[in-house]
Amino acid sequence: MSSPLPPSSYYSAITSDQRLVCLFEHLVRGNKDVLLPEFDACFGYVYPDIINSCKVSPTESIEVVNKIISLGLGTREYHDQVLRCPYCGSEQIRVYFHCHFCNSTQLYKELLLEHIRDGVIGPISKFKDPTGTLICPSCGSKLSLEGRDYRTVGVWYRCLTCYRQMDLPKITYLCRGCKKEVTAHGLIISSVGRIVINKAAIEEFSRRHLAINPIVSTLREEGYVVSSPGTLLGKSGVSHPFDVVGVDKSGNTVAVDVAVSKEPINESVVMNLFVKVLDTNPTNTILVCIPGIQEGAKKLAPLYGIKIVEGTSVSDIMAPLKSIISTSLKVLA
Ligand SMILES: [Zn+2]
Ligand SMILES: [Zn+2]
Ligand SMILES: [Zn+2]
């Protein structure tokens, strides 16, 4: 078990590998936090979310999974049983049914039916007339409803090489990888996992990648000197931290906090920000809420001089943010 990381380490772990950045963008867009394996006929179990979002090969998707685990960005949970070849480790195991007597694999399988009323039992082929209708071979009654007229009482196999019958064939396994025959005793039972991505890692990625980084660039384009994270000195003499602080040439300040949560942001987040605003009195205070904010909290914010921007993507957030910054500049000018 890896110990929990501070949020900033999640972000630097993700950005250390461009494939992880693509994957996390995909997870945030799709509101996903689990990677499910799928069986591929050539490669065994692979992770389609990774293959598609990172544009990597099926084999590389396994390498990305191992990296996610080793960086502490997610954990592996049991998903399904996988049988493996003891010689080469391949998951590509074929099952063969053989004749008990001559080992042939040319077998014919038939269901055994019973006409319930008179107890006559026989292979299904003896019950079928040329049109496929089921007729009792003994009394000639038409059997239409399974459970009422007839029932399946078993199955038997006939060898098409030696023509003997058996109720259970011999079973062997063949590895498609190394072509070796494997017995049931020899098969390795292992498992494939689903990958559960750490919630804190996704939230920190959303905060930094989808909101904070674009906000920093936008403010710089608008001529602000930006620090992220930044602090403003309050009247009380206490320095208060904000996710982004910008100062323009005229000394106007903009303070931005970014809140991310699966559920809409509530009033306590607005209150906490207000405590800092009261002391530091920035020209503009913006609270970015991903994905959104509760109605009550939204009504409360303007009373405290806090502007709200909501959204789930960079474009949702950046357009209103730009208009807040440019409107307030006009008002000041
Ligand atoms: Zn046989
Ligand atoms: Zn009958
Ligand atoms: Zn093998």
Q: Are residues 327 and 211 in the same domain?
A: yes
Report the predicted TM-score, pTM, of the whole model to 2 decimal places. 0.70
Total number of domains constituting the chain = 3
Q: Are residues 154 and 238 in the same domain?
A: no
CA–centroid distance, 174 to ligand 3, in Å, is 8
Distance CA 302, CA 233 (A): 22
Distance CA 41, CA 92 (A): 8
Among the bound ligands, the one closest to the CA of 83 = 3
Q: Are residues 158 and 265 in the same domain?
A: no
Among the bound ligands, the one closest to the CA of 120 = 2
Residue 43 lies in a domain: yes
Q: Which two tokens stand for residue 283?
A: 């020209």
Among the bound ligands, the one closest to the CA of 143 = 2
Residue 182 lies in a domain: no
Q: Are residues 64 and 115 in the same domain?
A: no
Q: Where are the extended beta strands (E) located within 25-116?
A: 34-35, 38-40, 44-46, 74-84, 93-98, 107-115
Q: Are residues 154 and 208 in the same domain?
A: no
Residue 250 lies in a domain: yes
Among the bound ligands, the one closest to the CA of 177 = 3
Q: Are residues 302 and 209 in the same domain?
A: yes
Is the Cβ–Cβ distance between 269 and 297 less than 8 Å? yes
Residue 327 lies in a domain: yes
Residue 19 lies in a domain: yes
Q: Are residues 309 and 207 in the same domain?
A: yes
Q: What are phi and psi of 322, to 5 degrees?
A: -60, -40
Tell me the CATH number at 214. Answer: 3.40.1350.10
Q: Are residues 326 and 206 in the same domain?
A: yes
pLDDT score for 66: 96
Cis peptide before 320 (omega within 30 of 0): no
CA–centroid distance, 113 to ligand 1, in Å, is 24
CA–centroid distance, 296 to ligand 1, in Å, is 78
Among the bound ligands, the one closest to the CA of 105 = 1
CA–centroid distance, 158 to ligand 2, in Å, is 24
Q: Are residues 222 and 268 in the same domain?
A: yes
Tell me the CATH number at 26. Answer: 1.10.10
pLDDT score for 321: 87
The amino acid occupying position 203 is E
Residue 90 lies in a domain: no
Among the bound ligands, the one closest to the CA of 166 = 1
pLDDT score for 206: 86
Q: Are residues 304 and 278 in the same domain?
A: yes
Residue 157's domain spans which residues? 100-168
pLDDT tens-place values along the chain, 333 residues long = 445 566 668 999 999 999 999 999 999 888 899 999 999 888 889 999 999 999 999 999 999 999 999 999 999 999 999 999 999 999 999 999 999 999 999 999 999 999 999 999 999 999 999 999 999 999 999 999 999 999 999 999 999 999 999 999 999 999 999 999 998 899 999 999 999 999 999 988 988 887 898 899 989 998 999 999 899 999 999 999 999 999 999 999 999 999 988 788 899 999 999 999 999 999 999 999 988 999 999 999 999 999 999 987 777 888 888 888 877 655 544
CA–centroid distance, 166 to ligand 3, in Å, is 30
Residue 248 lies in a domain: yes
CA–centroid distance, 63 to ligand 1, in Å, is 46
Is the Cβ–Cβ distance between 211 and 288 less than 8 Å? yes
Q: Are residues 162 and 269 in the same domain?
A: no
pLDDT score for 4: 56
CA–centroid distance, 160 to ligand 2, in Å, is 29
CA–centroid distance, 185 to ligand 3, in Å, is 15
Count Cβ atoms below 10 Å from residue 303 Cβ, excluding itself.
9
Among the bound ligands, the one closest to the CA of 100 = 1
Q: Which two tokens stand for residue 291?
A: 């994905």
Q: How many helices (H) and strands (E) does the chain have?
A: 10, 19
CA–centroid distance, 310 to ligand 3, in Å, is 54
Among the bound ligands, the one closest to the CA of 102 = 1
pLDDT score for 42: 84
Q: Are residues 316 and 248 in the same domain?
A: yes
Buried/exposed 95-123: b ≥16 CB within 10 Å, e otherwise: eebbbbeeebeebeebebbbbbeeebebb
Residue 25 lies in a domain: yes
Domain boundary among 152, 182, 197: 197
